[in-house]
Amino acid sequence: EEEKVGEEKPEVLSPEELEKLKEEVDERKKLISTLRGKPWPMRKKLLTLRESHEFVEKYEGALGKGKSRKLYAYKVMMLKKWMKFQRDFENFKTACVPWEMKIKEIESKYVSYLFLLYPCTVLLVLPGCLLFFNLAEKALMGRPYGSMPRKTVPRADEANAMDFAVLWDFGGYAQYSVLFYGYYNSQRAIGWLKFRMPLSYFLVGVGTVAYSYMVVIRTMARNANEDGGGDNNSFNFSWKMFTSWDYLIGNPETADNKFASITTSFKEAILEEQESRKDDNIHLTRFLRVLANFLVLCCLAGSGYLIYFVVRRSQKFALEGLESHSWWERNEVNMVMSLLGMFCPMLFDVISALENYHPRIALQWQLGRIFALFLGNLYTFIIALMDEINLKREEEEVLKLNMTIWEASLYNGTLGANSTAPPITVHPADIPRGPCWETMVGQEFVRLIVSDTMTTYITLLIGDFLRAVLVRFLNYCWCWDLEAGFPSYSEFDVSGNVLGLIFNQGMIWMGAFYAPCLPALNVLRLHVSMYLQCWAVMCCNVPQERVFKASGSNNFYMAMLLVILFLSTLPAIYTIVTIPPSFDCGPFSGKSRMFDVIQETLESDFPAWFGKVFSYASNPGLVLPFLLLMVLAIYYLQSTSKSYKQANLELKKKLQTVSRTINKVLTLIQYLLYSLCGTCTDIVCPPESTPCKGGEHRAHQGKSDHQIPPSATSPPAPRGHRIPGPLPGNQWQPAPSVQRVPNSQRH
Partner 1 sequence: MGTTASQLRKDLLSEYQELTFLTKQEIILAHKRFSELLSKEDRNIPTPRVPMEKVLSLPELKSNPFRKRICHVFSTSDMKDGSLTFEDFLDLLSAFSDSATLEIKSHYAFRIFDFDDDGTLDGGDLEKLVNCLTGETDDTRLTTEEMRQLISNILEESDIDKDGTVNLSEFQHVISRSPDFVRSVQM
Q: Which CB atom, from 556 or from 583, has the smaller least distance to partner 1?
A: 556
Question: 714: which DSSP letter?
Answer: S
Q: Which CB atom, from 9 or from 43, has the smaller least distance to partner 1?
A: 43
Q: Which CB atom, from 250 or from 590, has the smaller least distance to partner 1?
A: 250
DSSP code per residue over 609-628:
HHHHHHHHHT-HHHHHHHHH
Q: Which amino acid is at 255?
A: A
Element (H, E) at 547: none
Residue 361 burial (CB count, 10 A): 10
Q: At what angle do helices 596-605 and 608-617 cross, to 10 degrees?
A: 140
Cα(622)–Cα(491) distance, rounded to whole angstroms?
A: 57
Q: Name the burial class of residue 747, with classes exposed (0-12), middle (13-18) and buried (19+) by CB atoms within 10 angstroms of its CB.
A: exposed
CB 138 within 8 A of CB 414: no
CA-to-CA separations, 492 to 103, 471, 495, 538, in angstroms, rounded: 15, 16, 9, 10
Q: Which amino acid is at 668?
A: L
- Least distance from partner 1 to the Cβ atom of residue 561, Å: 17
Q: Which CB atom, from 42 or from 405, has the smaller least distance to partner 1?
A: 42
- Least distance from partner 1 to the Cβ atom of residue 51, Å: 12
DSSP code per residue over 164-177:
HHHHHTT-HHHHTS
- Least distance from partner 1 to the Cβ atom of residue 161, Å: 52
Q: Which CB atom, from 79 or from 260, has the smaller least distance to partner 1?
A: 260
Cα(519)–Cα(9) distance, rounded to whole angstroms?
A: 66
Q: Which CB atom, from 43 or from 277, has the smaller least distance to partner 1?
A: 43
CB within 8 Å of 702: residues ≥ 6 apart:
687, 688
Q: Name the burial class of residue 556, with classes exposed (0-12), middle (13-18) and buried (19+) by CB atoms within 10 angstroms of its CB.
A: middle
- Least distance from partner 1 to the Cβ atom of residue 357, Å: 23
Q: Which CB atom, from 222 or from 527, has the smaller least distance to partner 1?
A: 222
- Least distance from partner 1 to the Cβ atom of residue 499, Å: 20
Cα(497)–Cα(505) distance, rounded to whole angstroms?
A: 12
Cα(434)–Cα(400) distance, rounded to whole angstroms?
A: 8
Q: Which CB atom, from 65 or from 721, has the smaller least distance to partner 1?
A: 721
Q: Which CB atom, from 25 or from 440, has the smaller least distance to partner 1?
A: 25
- Comparing CA positions, the residue from 212, 209, 219 lying closest to residue 116 is 219
- Least distance from partner 1 to the Cβ atom of residue 648, Å: 11
Q: Which CB atom, from 119 or from 580, has the smaller least distance to partner 1?
A: 119
CB 537 within 8 A of CB 478: no
Cα(42)–Cα(356) distance, rounded to whole angstroms?
A: 54
